[in-house]
Structure 1
Amino acid sequence: MAAEIISLPQFRFDDRPTLAPGVAAVIERAIIEGTLPDGLKLTEEIICRKTGVSRSPIREALRILERDGLVVREPRRGVRVSKLTVENLDELYACRIVLEVLASELAAVNATVQEMDGIRRTHQRCERLLRTDHMLGHFRANVELSQRIFNAAHNLPLLGLLNSIHKQALRYRFLAYQMSRSARANSVRNNTELVAALAKRDAALAGVKVRQSIELSHEVIRACLMERTKRDGRRIKSG
């Protein structure tokens, strides 16, 4: 069915040169935050109707999302949101550890005073949002914190690699945040230690803290993903 993209907000784009990236950004956020679930078929016709954008930039937007691993193009079946799987999670997190450890080590050395201040303030916002149990706000603040640390590494090739992996990994992180408050609490606790290491300019300690955080996150998300798979299986049987 052309389902389907009923959850995609109504958008109008006036800045014509950035139409395709703008549409891609809207769909990207909807995929990452689960508004467009994995496996959902994305049709140009419905996206056109929702965004008021012609088919040419829509096709380009879908190519951008395909490049970033958020959608897949299947012969005779069209474009669908990529599925979340344990296998894909394991592969992504093997990459995350290597890249984000390096980014944190470089950030500890290269971050400017202004960048460190921004990292601290964003982390403090994460703490406040955890206390108020604002899941979506906390998730978005945590994404911003990660991006600030990546930028503070001041390494453009590394940033390019991180951004591609990060977009795919965020879908799994959102699932864990959605299913487990302890995942959000763990994130804040681990980031408190990471921010302290960055403030001390201790690259080795920052790398250790990131590795520990990602390994714990991997375990939690894996458990959440397997629980979701079991739950969906029970729903199919009962249906």
Structure 2
Amino acid sequence: MAKQSLKQQSYELIKSNIINCVYPPGTIITEDILCQELEVSRTPIREALNRLETERLVTVLPKRGIEVTNISLNELNMIYETRLLIEPYAILKHGCKISQQQYLHFYRIFESYQTEPVEETAYYEVDEQFHQLFIDATENSYLINTYQTVNSQISRTRILSGRASQDRLFYSTREHLDIVKHVLSNNWDAAAQAMEQHLQASKSSYFEYMMKQQNFLSTQ
């Protein structure tokens, strides 16, 4: 690692391992382990962990180490409460800043997903780009940083829940398509409402998965 970017690179590598569940929720890691894995000193590791703690990805446990935070039903509820406050608002107030060319780009993608199988990895990449489009349009660093924190948790949840059903992917892309149709018609109220409905459906899907997991574990 280059000296001038040790802090940032340490942060990005540890965060990537957490988001991609290389360090699964509940894992206890230590500064010594991270120093060995990243081949850096304690200072950039500690600074990276401080940032990750503010993003609710780790909890520093005195004399025990660093715990990768779990994703509970309460955590998931807070995540979607935040998204429901931010994303419909972003469309309603700032969606008009986005060009029609960008909207048409996503329209063509989501329309194609209605007639052909959706590859999950590709879908989630497009999904993140689409949602981020509205957040970036706000040009509000507070909203952008908050959304970044929330999106990291959503990425972890996707990996932990395994492959989504093709039915859910189909309906999700159709929900996205409805949003784009409304924005192309400059019907911002309807677009914001469609985004809210999409987020509620997404929340229900993840809640259903987590409830099944809890019921499974309780029978073991």
TM range (shorter): 0.7 to 0.9
SS of residue paired to 2:77:
helix
Partner of 1:10: none
2:88 maps to which of 85, 101, 117? 101
Amino acid at match of 2:143: L
1:161 maps to which of 146, 154, 160? 146
Partner of 2:211: 226
Q: Following TM superposition, by how much is the alpha carbon of 1:59 offset from its aligned partner in structure 2, in angstroms?
A: 1.2
SS of residue paired to 2:40:
coil
Q: What percentage of aligned pairs have identical amino acids?
A: 22
SS of residue paired to 1:99:
helix
Q: Which runs of 5+ in 2 are unaligned?
A: none
TM-score normalized by structure 1?
0.79
Q: Following TM superposition, by how much is the alpha carbon of 1:127 offset from its aligned partner in structure 2, in angstroms?
A: 5.6
Q: Tell me if structure 2 keeps the 8 A contact 1:108–1:197.
A: no
Distance 1:37 1:131 in 2: 33
Amino acid at match of 1:28: K
Q: Which runs of 4+ in 1 moved over 6 A?
A: none
2:197 matches 1:212:
yes
Distance 1:73 1:153 in 2: 33
Q: Tell me if structure 2 keeps the 8 A contact 1:176–1:183.
A: no
1:151 maps to which of 116, 119, 136? 136
Distance 1:175 1:185 in 2: 20
Amino acid at match of 1:98: L
Is the deviation greater in 209-218 or in 151-160? 151-160
Amino acid at match of 1:206: A
1:81 maps to which of 44, 61, 68? 68
Q: Tell me if structure 2 keeps the 8 A contact 1:175–1:224.
A: no
SS of residue paired to 2:213:
helix
Distance 1:177 1:196 in 2: 30
Is the deviation greater in 197-206 or in 27-36? 27-36
Q: Tell me if structure 1 keeps the 8 A contact 2:110–2:176.
A: no
Is the deviation greater in 207-216 or in 21-30? 21-30
**CA-to-aligned-CA distance 1:143-192 (integer Å, 9 cap, x gap):** 22221221123333322332222222332344446354433333212111
> RMSD of the alignment, in Å?
2.7
Partner of 2:120: 135
Partner of 2:56: 69
Q: Tell me if structure 1 keeps the 8 A contact 2:79–2:150.
A: yes
